[in-house]
Structure formats: C-alpha cells, structure tokens
C-alpha cells in the first residue's frame, strides 16, 4: 500500500524536537509504516496523548499520589519500599503485576459471562470519548456535537458498573449497584446542566470554537457552572465525600466486591479513568483548553501537552479531597444532588443566558 503511507505521512504530528529521528526512521522499510502510523494524528490522539498512553501515565502517578498524600495527612509514610530512591512510585506497577498473576475467581452464583466481560467492556465508554476530545491539531474526530457526545459516552460508565453489580450476584455488590444508580441520577442532571450552561455561553458544542472563545477562562466567566461541574465530577467518580457506591467500610467496594486478580485491577482503575476524562472535559470547558504558553520546539505536541497538564493538575488537587472530608450518607448525598446542586446548575444556565443576552461575549 504505497498510498496508505503517503496519507499517514501527510497528516503526521509535527514535533521539531524529534523530527530528525523521525526523518531517519521513515527511510527504513518496515519501521516507517509503524512510525507513520503512531504519529498519524488520529492514532496519536487516541493512542498516545490525550489517549491511552496518557491514561496509563495518569493511572500510574495518580494512584501513587493519592496514597502518598493521604498517608502524609494521616501521619503515615505511604508506599515507599518498592523503588525507594524515587519515593515508591513503582508500587503501582508492583500492584499491577500482582493483579496479573493473581487467580481470577468467578464464584458459583455469578453470571459468569457478564461477570467476566463487563470489566473489559467498561473500556469502551472510557476510550470512545477520547476520539472526540481534541487537543488542538491532534484530534481524531471533529464534530459540532463533540461535547454532548463526550458527556453521553461518559454517562455510559455507571451503566456498566450497575451491570457488574448485578452480574456479581452478591448482597454487597447489589447494594453498591443500587447506590450507584441513585447517585447516577443525582449528579448526572446537574452535570449536564453545567455543560449546557457553558455550551449556551459559547454558543457551540465544538471544542475548537469553545477553546477559541476562551480568552478569559470559562471558570471566571461562569464560576457557578464550574462549581457544579467539579462537585458533579467528585460525585461521578465516587471519590470521598461521595464515595457512596464503593464505601469500603460499609459494603466492601460495592459492585466490585467479587472481583479479583486482573479483573479487579481493571474495575479499580475505572473511577480514575473516568476522573481523567472528566478533567479533560473540565479543562476544555473551564480552564481554556489547550491554550498555554507557546513552546516552539514541541510543535504540534504543545497543545496536547497543555491540555494534559491542566487536566492532570486538576486531578492532583482533587485527590486531596479524600483526606479532607468524611463520607456522606446516601440520603444526604441525594438531598444535595437533587436540591442545592440542581438549583445552582439551573442558576448557572441563567447566568450564561444573562452573559450572552447582555452581549459580554461575541
């Protein structure tokens, strides 16, 4: 296929820093296809950054960071003994290895087919939104409806979790699945309203238009929507203080109670992956997307870099919540979700309309 290579080479990510190396590699017969494929913009967006590679990097650092932070607040040391010179950051890799070699137990009462396939299927709603999340020139699909589509795809994750709770056929998993369902409705509507407010403000669902219009970051234009979005993110990723569906101390990890081995490794990282996606969405809507200080040597890599960095810093800060707040009861969380947060999300839409109608934004 001589045509294929040309198509890929024409639409390659241009990074001046590694360009000489790429030029050399493109002259070698087989390797040029691999290099061109990886650096092909759609593939680069989905596989490297802000896609799969970035997710793996985030998972590795954020789990360690969260454990370490909580340990410091609780006067402990946290993970340290694995790779002591770099502060125990390889602990996550060690845990991953353990998950790989641990036996996956499918108990007798579980619906074995769904029980095994759902953690793997859960990657679909995690990876599909990446297709629609652009990072400047590095993107897979450009659409006017990208933002609503991303929200809709992220909203599929709880469905998979509820299905896992059902397939586990365990009382704790069942309670966890019910709690997940309750929470789902409590946060999803304010979340959608907050996103809607920003779409009203910018007058488009296209991330490129949204980022272009953010000469002032969206968090300053509509702080109420930002607050709603952040609280909804915390609820959606079941982090403390809304760690209600998982609640270790009450229902022993809720829907994931029966999972072990690599399947547990997959489902445990689900909340972090969801947090990453929602951080990317938050960065695009409220933090100016991939706008940032220009670094010429990075070339096309610069916008994804800024997008990733902003989202990542937001994740690092949100990890702190775990050690600040205690867990709400389910009824308290539902009351918050259906009353105050729903109210402020509606107010945020009103603010957006006010801003648009008074003509503050072009």
Partner 1 sequence: MKKIKAEKLGLTESVKRHLEAIGVVVGEVIVPSTITIHYPRERRKLPDNFRGLILFDNKACISCFRCAHICPANAIVMEHRIAYFPSIDYAKCIFCHFCVDSCPTGALRPTKIHDFVYKDMDEMVVHSEEMVETPEIVREDSFTVEYVFDGDVQLVKKKEKEELVPEVKPPERPPKVAAALNPENCISCRLCVAACPTFAISAKEEKTKIILEINVDRCTACSICNKICPTSTLGLVDR
Residues lying near partner 1 in the complex (CB under 8 A) are found at: 69, 72-73, 75-77, 320, 323-325
Q: Considering Cα of 52, then 255, then 88, then 91, what sign does the dihedral take?
A: negative
Q: Which residues contact 361 (CB under 8 A, 6 or more apart)?
A: 201, 202, 213, 221, 355
Phi, psi for residue 12 in degrees, rounded to 5: -95, 155
Q: How far is CA 360 from the centre of its chain?
A: 31
CB of 347 to partner 1, least distance (A): 15
Identify whether the C-beta of residue 181 lies closer than 8 Å to the C-beta of residue 188. Answer: no
Nearer to partner 1, 281 or 315 (CB): 315
Nearer to partner 1, 70 or 260 (CB): 70
CB of 320 to partner 1, least distance (A): 6
Nearer to partner 1, 72 or 171 (CB): 72
CB of 94 to partner 1, least distance (A): 19
CB of 271 to partner 1, least distance (A): 21
Nearer to partner 1, 72 or 142 (CB): 72
CB of 69 to partner 1, least distance (A): 6
CB of 255 to partner 1, least distance (A): 29
Distance separating alpha carbons of residues 20 and 322, to the nearest angstrom: 45
Q: How far is CA 362 from the centre of its chain?
A: 31
Nearer to partner 1, 206 or 243 (CB): 243
Nearer to partner 1, 98 or 329 (CB): 329
CB of 81 to partner 1, least distance (A): 10
CB of 239 to partner 1, least distance (A): 14
Look up residue 99 and give its two tokens: 């998950």
The secondary element (H helix, E strand) that includes residue 70 is helix 52-73
Distance separating alpha carbons of residues 332 and 334, to the nearest angstrom: 5
Identify whether the C-beta of residue 164 lies closer than 8 Å to the C-beta of residue 263. Answer: no
Q: 311 vs 128, 164, 185, CA distance in Å?
A: 18, 28, 25
Identify whether the C-beta of residue 300 lies closer than 8 Å to the C-beta of residue 15. Answer: yes
Nearer to partner 1, 109 or 332 (CB): 332
CB of 352 to partner 1, least distance (A): 24
Task: Indicate the length of the chain as a whole number.
Answer: 362
Closest by alpha carbon to 148, among 213, 198, 88?
A: 198
Buried-exposed string 130-146: b where 16+ CB fall within 10 A, e elsewhere: bbbbbbbbbbbeebeeb
CB of 77 to partner 1, least distance (A): 5
Nearer to partner 1, 76 or 107 (CB): 76
Burial class (CB in 10 A: 0-12, 13-18, 19+), 293: exposed
Token pair 């009382």 in the structure block, residue: 171
Token pair 């690599």 in the structure block, residue: 262
Nearer to partner 1, 117 or 332 (CB): 332
């Amino acid at each position: 296929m001589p045509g294929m290579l040309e198509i890929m080479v024409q639409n390659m990510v241009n990074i001046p820093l590694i360009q000489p190396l790429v030029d050399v590699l493109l002259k070698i017969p087989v390797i040029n296809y691999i290099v061109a494929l990886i650096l092909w913009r759609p593939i680069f967006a989905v596989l490297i950054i802000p896609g799969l590679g970035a997710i793996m990097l985030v998972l590795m650092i954020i789990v360690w960071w969260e454990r370490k932070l909580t340990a410091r607040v609780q006067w402990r040391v946290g993970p340290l003994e694995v790779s002591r010179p770099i502060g125990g950051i390889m602990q996550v890799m060690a845990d991953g290895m353990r998950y790989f070699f641990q036996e996956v137990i499918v108990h007798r009462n579980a619906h074995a087919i769904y029980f095994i396939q759902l953690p793997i299927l859960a990657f679909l709603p995690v990876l599909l939104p990446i297709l629609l999340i652009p990072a400047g020139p590095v993107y897979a699909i450009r659409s006017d409806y990208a933002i609503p589509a991303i929200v809709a795809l992220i909203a599929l994750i709880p469905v998979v979790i509820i299905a896992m709770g059902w397939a586990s056929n365990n009382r704790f998993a069942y309670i966890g699945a019910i709690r997940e369902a309750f929470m789902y409705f409590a946060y999803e509507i304010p979340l959608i309203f907050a996103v809607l407010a920003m779409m009203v403000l910018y007058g488009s669902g296209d991330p490129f238009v949204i980022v272009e219009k953010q000469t002032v970051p969206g968090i300053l234009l509509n702080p109420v929507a930002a607050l709603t979005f952040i609280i909804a993110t915390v609820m959606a990723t079941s982090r403390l203080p809304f760690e209600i569906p998982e609640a270790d101390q009450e229902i022993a990890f809720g829907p994931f109670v029966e999972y072990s081995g690599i399947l547990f490794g997959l489902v445990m990282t689900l909340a972090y992956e969801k947090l990453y996606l929602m951080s990317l969405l938050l960065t695009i809507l409220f933090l100016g997307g991939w706008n940032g200080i220009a670094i010429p040597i990075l070339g096309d890599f610069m916008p994804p870099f800024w997008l990733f960095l902003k989202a990542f810093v937001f994740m690092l800060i949100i990890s702190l919540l775990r050690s600040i707040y205690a867990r709400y009861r389910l009824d308290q969380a539902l009351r918050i979700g259906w009353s105050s947060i729903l109210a402020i999300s509606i107010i945020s839409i009103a603010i957006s309309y006010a801003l648009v109608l008074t003509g503050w934004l072009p």
